[in-house]
Structure 1
Amino acid sequence: MKKSDRYNIGILIGGVHTYFPKEHIRGITEAARELNVNVCFFLGTQTKDFFEDLLGGTHKDSFDYQFKTIHDYSLIGGLDGLIINYGTLGLQLKNETAERFALKFNSIPTVFLTEIVHSPNCHSLICDNKNGIHMVMEHLINEHHCRKILFVAGPSQNTDANERKNTYLERMAAHNLPVTPQMIAQGDYSEFVDRQVQHLLDDNPDAQAIVFANDEMAFSGYRVCEQRGLKVGKDILITGFDDCERASGMEPPLTTVQQDGVLMGKMAVYDLIAKLDGSEVLSRRVPVSLCVRESCGCQEKIPEIRSTPVNLTEQIHKLNRTITNMKLELINFQRKSWFILSLARNLNDCMDDEYAFLLSAMENMRELRTKCTYLFLLDEPVIYHQNDEWISPQNLRLAAYYRDEETAAFHLYDRQPVNAENGICQLMADNDRHQFMVFLLFSGEKQYGLLACDIQPEEFPFFYVISLQIGLSLHYLEISKVEVLRRQEMSRDLELVRERNRELGLISKYDELTGLLNLRGFTEQIKNFCSKSEHQRAYIICADLDHLKEINDTWGHPAGNFALRSVANIFNGCLRSQDIVARTGGDEFLILLNCQEKNFQDIFRKRVRDACAAFNAESGKPFLVEVSLGITEFKPSPETDIPAIIEHADKDLYEAKKLRKNSVRRP
């Protein structure tokens, strides 16, 4: 062992909802505690079988294929050694051999469980499958004189399953017993192989016995036989392999091959630590024994049956312990299941704030009394379709954690990256020993990261559901982020539209040449003025630039534009800020004055005439800028007939224009 640091060992394991992987986990957990090493379980599971059994058909929306990717995250785990339960992972790795898989991970010392590999830096631990099936077949043939024995095989890519199937074929051949393809069914090690067993019995109505490659599939055999009215142990004999916790409690008790999964898990840890300490460790097989019970036709009371490795009292105690533990797990799960609703609600309340979302997730882990929890997120979700080539992401970061009664979360720019030099275990390291269960966070085809919880193995089912809920909530958070961005874009677009409308409003109300109001703008202003300035004295002034045509024709349109702008400036100089002036046509202007002086017409005419003279004295142009004015006094009110007043002023302008000069050319 290292003197200063604990070893960090990783466990790649799938099928953790089934019996034997759970036994391996128990053994690994006990050995890790005894040897004071840190453990990270990279967990995979399969839900498809459960859905199919529950729904009675193929579950098309299963995303179990995502679980085959979690083992790649161990490559950035910061691990010293690795235990690979390939027998469970291989069910998902249909296109990858054990040898190729081993080469991917053999940069560190590796122990393969339930698989034989010959890669450097790896060695294997596998049960004695051949001897186990050999004992079963000899017992059925010699003790029960069976001749028509059927076989339900495990996954074709699994070494345990292949060895068991091959031994079945060898023993049948050794006794000159015929085997046809219809006598063998292809199973998957799950309890849900009912259809395969149905077909097997349909094709072989005279079958005397069925040998199952593991206990889980044998339970399916019990169920099918009961449906057909066949009594197990009398009408047909059934055997299994593993001696799982339910085997002795079946009716009748299941004859099986006992292999010690807990022992195998412990051996794997001890072998790996020995390798890390520099010792040479060889591959080996774990011994098995035949556990004879009533499903093969034997009776417990027969004294000459001595193959059972534990006596009946010990079996009863084992079964009682199993039942008690299962009840406690169920009660605990039921109590905690209410928490899932609270978790979903708490996380959904934070959909507009990722930082608050992360803190809420860690607060919930604190309430669940995990020893500590770490949440690792990808910078961007990875979309992984079932038939795509998997490429392990390189942008995983520590996003939040709960430890020592403290919760913390980090914004994206503050998150520490996970890489080969600064791995998952290093980011979770402290002075305590830990046993992390690492769950993949995904929703449908999108992966979001990992959730690592320091919990006991029996808590796995509940926290597996928790991880599914967090994955779903991360999906909703992503959608919420997209919606926020869309709303921001829409807000920016809306503000841009408003700004353009304001610009269009200005354009529609103002004269581009002079900057004065145009007719539309003047009309709106005078209407507003009349509605608010009732019974006051006011004046409407119509004005024309004298001889604009002469200026344009003689000196060009730029000169005419100059003259028009000059008139606008002259009027602005003669008016107050509250007065309104507009250019309403080519050479036409309108002015609104609010003035209490009587006979203001003559005063204003003189003011404009003097302003024009002053301008002409300084302009240096070969023409004069002069205007004619028509002025009408009125008292504004909401009922004021504005067009009539403008018409009256325009008539006065017409009379004034008769007095203008014949030309604006300078003398």
Structure 2
Amino acid sequence: MKDKRINIGLFVSDLSNEFDNAVCKGVMQGAKEVDANLIIFPGRYLKAQYHDKEYNRCEYQYNTLFSYANENNIDVLLILLGTIGTVISDAEKKVFLDTYQNIPVLLLAEERKGFSSVSFDNRIGFRDGISSIIQKGCKKIGFVSGPVTNEDAKERLDVYKQVLTANDIPYDEDKVVYGNFSEYSDDIVNNLLDKNPDLDAVVFANDQMAIGGYRVFENRGIKVGEDVLVMGFDDSASAQSLVPSLTTIRADAVELGRTGAIEAANFLATRMERKKYVKTSLVQRDSTGKNDFDLISLLEKRDFGKFFQRNVGMAATILIDTLMVDKRKDKDLMYFSSICSDLVREMFTQIRSDDEEMHKGQYLYHLIDKVMNSKIGETIDTSIIFRLLNSIILIINKYMPERSLLAQQLIYDYLSHVTTIIYNRKKFYEKDMDNLIWMCNGISKDMLIYDMEDDRSYGTVISKAIKLGFQSAYLYAFKVPYINYDSNAWHDWQVPKTMLLKSYFTDSDQSVVVDPKDQEIESGNIFTNSFMPQNRRFTILVSNIFINEEQLGMFLVEIEHDQLHLLSPFMAQLNTGFKIIYMQRTQACIEEQLERSLTKIKETSVMVETLSKADELTGIYNRRGFFELSNKHIRDKRNAGKHAVLIYAGIDNLKDILEEEDKASEDEIIKKVALLIKDAMRTSDVVARVGFDMFAVVAITDEPVKGDCLTSRINKFLKECNSKNKNGVDIKLSMGYSRFKCASDEMVENHLEEADAMLIDNRKSK
């Protein structure tokens, strides 16, 4: 193991989900710290239940990504079971985990016996949050839980019950509803409020469900923070952007992921099962009403006034430490805190100074730029910056009231500067997104520049990946499209044995189109072959290329966390480009086959008639085609005097089959009967569907043939068909026939009545 850099695999759901995205960010940081390769599989949710079912009907295709991890390419596997397994049962989770029993597995955000794990200590922060709501006088507290199968949801519900009991508030099942951790919680929140219109607080098991709750409260005219107090869990970015801002429990998903990566490396080295916990803490905001946050009181507990008079640097440090909820020892966060302290120190110095030149504050504008443009400053909620500047006004009002007007004027100027930065950042982001959309929109177009057999079309995709700033990328195509239907079972997908590496780039700014003789790669080696980065670590994100039910290929990209948002529009266009190329190739094959068949079609009018007069459902002739083609054969001079038999057949028990077999459909039964009749007859015979469940056959022979002989043959094929249907109802057919000779003045219509009468007698005799 010392000679080999380890490969850590990470199973997450949807990277557009704030929680999964943050966990992914942490794992990426941790993998760098332990110098391990990281391979990310964003396989979405197992047996997912989406709000917009039609739009998301093919989301199950992402589940196939989980099938590409095995003991040959992954050394240790991190599974964010708390989200990818949100809606599946405990037994189903076991089946899923058993799939990877040959790989050391460490779970994230969920604990299970026999597995090492890193999860949140849900209890402390959540207990503090619910207790603070009760301390504000709330007694009627509703709870919006996550899925009943989710361990975090169960633990948070237990804390809710315990806190109520500790405060002599009886637990009421009617005050609890269950969601799926998504923001589409409107229906369940409405249900909760319908049953409990007098609630004075609602606690959500995560922030995402609180988003749906806010919509419901607004629609009902309920004011959050006044009419009802609201609390969430996670402290996601949305918690700060909601209006009013959401009181929540800070569960640092980034730290969870980072710890997970470090623990994964340790676990692989020691094989000792360990369970680690990431602490949670209450973050008070406006959704729980007027908070008891008294900044001056908190500062005075640390002798702020004394330091403000003697050591403004120390005073600035105390203020930043008091305001910053996030106490992680993260390098970027520590740098952000440091430059914020520098900014506050300079502001204090400027306000205290009598020097007019110093009040112009050019250096302060420079510090504000540093704060806003730092890694944390670019992503942090801007309300924190505004809160910091407002805190300075409060402090000056308290400790230097004679400078209050000056402080307000200066802070106003700085707020204007911050607003300008935010505006420019927004414009830059919009321009950046426009460029991204423009570039991505060209992916499918550029793929069609070359002939469909020219692999340079794949090279254009890699060229786009280079322009987007990815570190390396690998584009694989399947030899043929693989159909993957939604069976509601993630393990139905069979990974293709091999795939074709069409184009890639590694450690250069040039795309490489792979020679056809070198393209075939075993699927188990797509992360470990010689084309991958050598002698350095990498973070690879795995995406599958598909359109609807067809899986077409794979795209592997070496990526940084701040590039994740680029993938969605990129993959949308890549999927389309692949589909067009496959469709062109399919069309070319069809055209080639048609060209080969044209000579045969010209030799016989039967094939021409078949193509133009077919029944849409079954593919055999329709009523019009039957009469035209049958009469044409009967009147053909070459058939004059030959013997003809008209067979008329109908399904007796279609209604009975549909009633007995839940999964049966009219179309399936009719197609099955059409096929067996067609198989029973010769290719030269005319077989047609002439009514809803009625079929007709005309057979022309040189020698006389008994009609019973032909109906017996059909019955033989019917018996074979029924024998394959072990548990269903047998299909029953009634048949009649009429025999006649071909002649120029003969027509099949003359014999329908006789055949139909025999069919009716046959049906009555059963």
- TM-score > 0.5 by shorter chain: yes
- CA distance in structure 2 between the aligned counterparts of 1:207 and 1:351, rounded to whole angstroms: 66
Does structure 1 residue 395 correspond to structure 2 residue 388?
A: no
1:376-404, Cα deviation, whole Å (9 max, x unpaired): 33333222222264133232424222222
Alignment of 1:98-497 (within 5 A): 98-119=93-114, 122-141=115-134, 143-278=135-270, 280-299=272-291, 301-302=293-294, 311-312=322-323, 321-323=379-381, 327=426, 331-350=431-450, 352-353=452-453, 355-387=455-487, 389=489, 390-400=492-502, 401-403=504-506, 404-410=508-514, 414-420=518-524, 422-427=525-530, 428-494=532-598
Worse overlay, 487-496 or 210-219:
487-496
Letter in 2 for 1:70: L
Say if 1:435 and 1:454, in contact at 8 Å, map to a contact too: yes
- CA distance in structure 2 between the aligned counterparts of 1:353 and 1:156, rounded to whole angstroms: 52
For residue 105 of structure 1, give the secondary structure of its aligned residue in structure 2.
coil
1:356–1:96 CA distance, 2 compared to 1 (3 A): farther
For residue 112 of structure 2, give the secondary structure of its aligned residue in structure 1.
coil
1:221-266, Cα deviation, whole Å (9 max, x unpaired): 2232223222211110000111112323433332111122121111
For residue 544 of structure 2, give the secondary structure of its aligned residue in structure 1.
strand
Say if 1:378 and 1:395, in contact at 8 Å, map to a contact too: no
1:419-444, Cα deviation, whole Å (9 max, x unpaired): 54x35233524223211111121111
- CA distance in structure 1 between the aligned counterparts of 2:127 and 2:579, rounded to whole angstroms: 51
Letter in 2 for 1:148: K
After TM superposition, give the deviation of residue 452 of structure 1 in Å: 0.8
- CA distance in structure 2 between the aligned counterparts of 1:330 and 1:49, rounded to whole angstroms: 32
For residue 75 of structure 1, give the secondary structure of its aligned residue in structure 2.
coil
Say if 2:90 and 2:149, in contact at 8 Å, map to a contact too: no
Q: Which residue of 1 aligns with 2:396?
A: none
Does structure 1 residue 13 correspond to structure 2 residue 20?
A: no
1:438–1:248 CA distance, 2 compared to 1 (3 A): same
- CA distance in structure 1 between the aligned counterparts of 2:488 and 2:271, rounded to whole angstroms: 41
- CA distance in structure 1 between the aligned counterparts of 2:583 and 2:53, rounded to whole angstroms: 29
Worse overlay, 448-457 or 243-252:
243-252
For residue 240 of structure 2, give the secondary structure of its aligned residue in structure 1.
helix
Say if 2:14 and 2:20, in contact at 8 Å, map to a contact too: yes
- CA distance in structure 2 between the aligned counterparts of 1:84 and 1:146, rounded to whole angstroms: 38
Say if 2:67 and 2:493, in contact at 8 Å, map to a contact too: no
For residue 596 of structure 2, give the secondary structure of its aligned residue in structure 1.
helix
After TM superposition, give the deviation of residue 144 of structure 1 in Å: 1.5
- CA distance in structure 1 between the aligned counterparts of 2:603 and 2:517, rounded to whole angstroms: 34
Figure out how many residues of one structure are paired with residues of the other and give that number. 492
For residue 448 of structure 1, give the secondary structure of its aligned residue in structure 2.
strand
After TM superposition, give the deviation of residue 447 of structure 1 in Å: 1.5
1:523-572, Cα deviation, whole Å (9 max, x unpaired): xxxxxxxxxxxxxxxxxxxxxxxxxxxxxxxxxxxxxxxxxxxxxxxxxx
Larger Rg: 1
**TM-score, normalization by structure 2:** 0.59
Please, which runs of 5 or more residues in structure 2 have no aligned partner? 300-318, 327-339, 341-370, 383-421, 606-766
Letter in 2 for 1:475: K
After TM superposition, give the deviation of residue 499 of structure 1 in Å: 10
Q: Which residue of 2 aligns with 1:79?
A: 74
1:388–1:144 CA distance, 2 compared to 1 (3 A): closer
Q: Which residue of 2 aligns with 1:23?
A: 22
For residue 511 of structure 2, give the secondary structure of its aligned residue in structure 1.
strand
Letter in 1 for 2:118: L
1:589-615, Cα deviation, whole Å (9 max, x unpaired): xxxxxxxxxxxxxxxxxxxxxxxxxxx
1:316-341, Cα deviation, whole Å (9 max, x unpaired): 98787435799566653332111121
Q: Which has the higher helix share?
A: 2
Alignment of 1:15-54 (within 5 A): 15-45=14-44
Letter in 2 for 1:165: L
Letter in 1 for 2:37: N
1:312–1:224 CA distance, 2 compared to 1 (3 A): farther
Q: Which residue of 2 aligns with 1:654?
A: none
Letter in 1 for 2:40: F
**TM-score, normalization by structure 1:** 0.67
For residue 277 of structure 1, give the secondary structure of its aligned residue in structure 2.
helix
After TM superposition, give the deviation of residue 132 of structure 1 in Å: 3.1
- CA distance in structure 1 between the aligned counterparts of 2:16 and 2:461, rounded to whole angstroms: 25
Say if 1:76 and 1:419, in contact at 8 Å, map to a contact too: no
Letter in 2 for 1:72: S
- CA distance in structure 2 between the aligned counterparts of 1:426 and 1:414, rounded to whole angstroms: 12
- CA distance in structure 2 between the aligned counterparts of 1:319 and 1:203, rounded to whole angstroms: 44
1:267-301, Cα deviation, whole Å (9 max, x unpaired): 11111111222363511222211122221124254
For residue 260 of structure 2, give the secondary structure of its aligned residue in structure 1.
helix
Say if 1:6 and 1:36, in contact at 8 Å, map to a contact too: yes
Say if 1:68 and 1:89, in contact at 8 Å, map to a contact too: no
- CA distance in structure 2 between the aligned counterparts of 1:108 and 1:70, rounded to whole angstroms: 16
1:305–1:233 CA distance, 2 compared to 1 (3 A): farther
Give aligned-pair identity as a percent: 25
Alignment of 1:57-96 (within 5 A): 59=54, 62-75=57-70, 78-91=73-86, 93=88
After TM superposition, give the deviation of residue 77 of structure 1 in Å: 6.6
Say if 2:495 and 2:523, in contact at 8 Å, map to a contact too: no
Say if 1:10 and 1:39, in contact at 8 Å, map to a contact too: yes
Please, which runs of 5 or more residues in structure 1 have no aligned partner? 502-667
Once superposed, what is the RMSD of the aligned Cα atoms? 3.4
After TM superposition, give the deviation of residue 94 of structure 1 in Å: 5.9
Say if 2:47 and 2:88, in contact at 8 Å, map to a contact too: no
- CA distance in structure 2 between the aligned counterparts of 1:117 and 1:368, rounded to whole angstroms: 40
1:398–1:173 CA distance, 2 compared to 1 (3 A): farther
Say if 1:378 and 1:397, in contact at 8 Å, map to a contact too: yes
After TM superposition, give the deviation of residue 131 of structure 1 in Å: 2.8
Q: Which residue of 1 aligns with 2:355?
A: none
For residue 29 of structure 2, give the secondary structure of its aligned residue in structure 1.
helix
Q: Which residue of 2 aligns with 1:555?
A: none
Letter in 2 for 1:256: T
- CA distance in structure 1 between the aligned counterparts of 2:298 and 2:92, rounded to whole angstroms: 42
1:22-41, Cα deviation, whole Å (9 max, x unpaired): 22112111122222221111
- CA distance in structure 2 between the aligned counterparts of 1:179 and 1:351, rounded to whole angstroms: 69
